[in-house]
Chains A and B, each alone.
Chain A
């Protein structure tokens, strides 16, 4: 059983997680500030206006990364929930719990920036296009997941329930998405980024967008680590209080 090699599961120990993350957080914070500063200012001040959209195009440096995170945070929650159900690592569950509000905020930011951009370009803040509808659906499942945590006291049972809810949520979110896609074409353009070079937006916008994407991702990691540490400390505090009350 005891493997002398360091394994990824070491961070599943709350104490190890706290000590590792305390070293990582300052580093990540610096990376975040730097890459977001460079990415956003490069994108906003040093790129040309789009010939059709004008300067409205510049909102993609916020919109695309937040939309990207909104979806991927839910996937991350799904993975950590499954890890909790299979391996019973508390840190994994707490990470899912900590990530949910970040994901909710990212979803809101994506919807909001999209609306601000949509007004001058599409002429409306909101339209029931498949992609926008998918984000509305995603928002509902984030709210559902967060509400189970806010309504019930933390214990392993609620952990299991929230993990199952996350899995059920992703099944039904996917089903709803395909139900939405079944009939409609939609206004929203295709993905702004893809591995296929031909489909990509032009290089001038592409590079700063990548930097922003990286910046948002490291922002998410920083927030996630901080929030997970908070959750671990709350959990540790209740454990300590219980031990003291029994003495």
Chain B
């Protein structure tokens, strides 16, 4: 096995054995249920608010597990060691982002068709929204690495991290919500779809380098 594949499998094993794996997924369900219960009592739910709740809940829950991305490795010296390993820092960041996506975003996406029921989105639309999420969420995981790196070494900086990172999710959220909203109205806008794909790919391409720059700042 190549070292980076080994690192990925280790990261996956490490983050799935802990008790915190399902926490962000539970948080996702809780946000959606509380908001849809609150809204449904007054009968003002529209498809726009439903998909917005879905995406914002996803972004908020994704933030929960961002802090630990590099923090544990930074504290116990593993990051030091990895920097003197055959794996480059950028690859480590990509591995971390993929792990975050697989352990945080993927479980939420699996639940999406289910949570679409209380939100009043049809199963058919939910499958299409799932496709949009498949394109948008990797970028969310990659952008999150920036926040994790920025607040490295700062105890209790969860809040600080959310303040930086949530606004940077906006481009993805705006396109994701708009496309999903059109889908619930049976409009399939392929150009917006492609732009979301482009933004997502650009984020995936540049964030490892930005994040590695930030991590190197912590080493000076």
Contacts and interface: CB of A to CB of B under 8 A. Distances in A.
**Is there direct touching of A and B in the complex, by C-beta distance under 8 Å?**
yes
Interface of A: 137, 140-141, 143-144, 147-148, 151-152, 156-157, 160-161, 164-165, 168-169, 172-173, 175-176, 178-180, 182-183
Identify the 3 closest CB pairs spanning chains A and B, nearest first.
A179-B174, A175-B171, A176-B170
Interface in B85-140: none
A157 B167 contact: no
B143 to A, nearest CB: 8
Contacts of A148: 150, 160, 164
Contact of B195 (A144, A176, A182): A182
B30 interface: no
B214 interface: yes
B217 A180 contact: no
Interface of B: 146, 150, 154, 157, 160, 163-164, 166-168, 170-171, 174-175, 178, 192, 195, 199, 210, 213-214, 217-218, 220
A39 B164 CA distance: 38
A60 to B, nearest CB: 28
Contact of B217 (A141, A160, A178): A160
Q: Of residues B146, B171, B174, which shows the largest number of chain A Cβ atoms within 10 Å of its Cβ?
A: B171
B175 A179 contact: yes
B218 A157 contact: yes
Nearest to A145: B164
A179 B136 CA distance: 14
Contacts of A137: 167, 170
Contacts of B175: 179, 182
Contacts, number: 64
A173 to B, nearest CB: 8
A141 B167 contact: yes
A147 B170 contact: no
A143 B213 CA distance: 23
Given A141-B167, A172-B168, 18 more contacts: A137-B167, A140-B167, A144-B163, A144-B164, A148-B150, A157-B218, A160-B220, A165-B164, A168-B146, A168-B168, A173-B167, A176-B171, A176-B174, A178-B171, A179-B175, A182-B192, A182-B195, A183-B178
Contacts of B166: 140
A96 to B, nearest CB: 16
A151 B214 contact: no
Q: Is the interface of A mostly helix, strand, loop or mixed?
A: helix
Given A152-B154, A182-B192, A183-B178, A164 B217 contact: yes
B166 to A, nearest CB: 8
A42 B39 CA distance: 50
A213 to B, nearest CB: 28
Contacts of A151: 154, 157, 160
Nearest to B150: A161
B214 A161 contact: yes
27 contacts: A137-B170, A140-B167, A141-B167, A147-B163, A147-B164, A148-B150, A152-B154, A156-B220, A157-B220, A160-B220, A161-B150, A161-B214, A164-B150, A165-B164, A168-B146, A168-B168, A169-B167, A169-B168, A173-B167, A175-B170, A175-B171, A176-B167, A176-B170, A178-B171, A179-B174, A179-B199, A180-B174
B213 A164 contact: yes
Contacts of A147: 160, 163-164
A161 B174 contact: no
Contacts of B154: 151-152
Q: Of residues B157, B163, B195, B210, which shows the largest number of chain A Cβ atoms within 10 Å of its Cβ?
A: B163
Q: Of residues B163, B167, B175, which shows the largest number of chain A Cβ atoms within 10 Å of its Cβ?
A: B167
Contact of B163 (A143, A160, A164, A176): A143
A151 B154 CA distance: 9
A148 B149 CA distance: 13
Contacts of A156: 220
Nearest to A157: B217
Contacts of A180: 174
Given A151-B154, A152-B154, A157-B217, A164 B171 contact: no
Nearest to B176: A179
Contacts of B157: 151
B212 to A, nearest CB: 11
B27 to A, nearest CB: 22
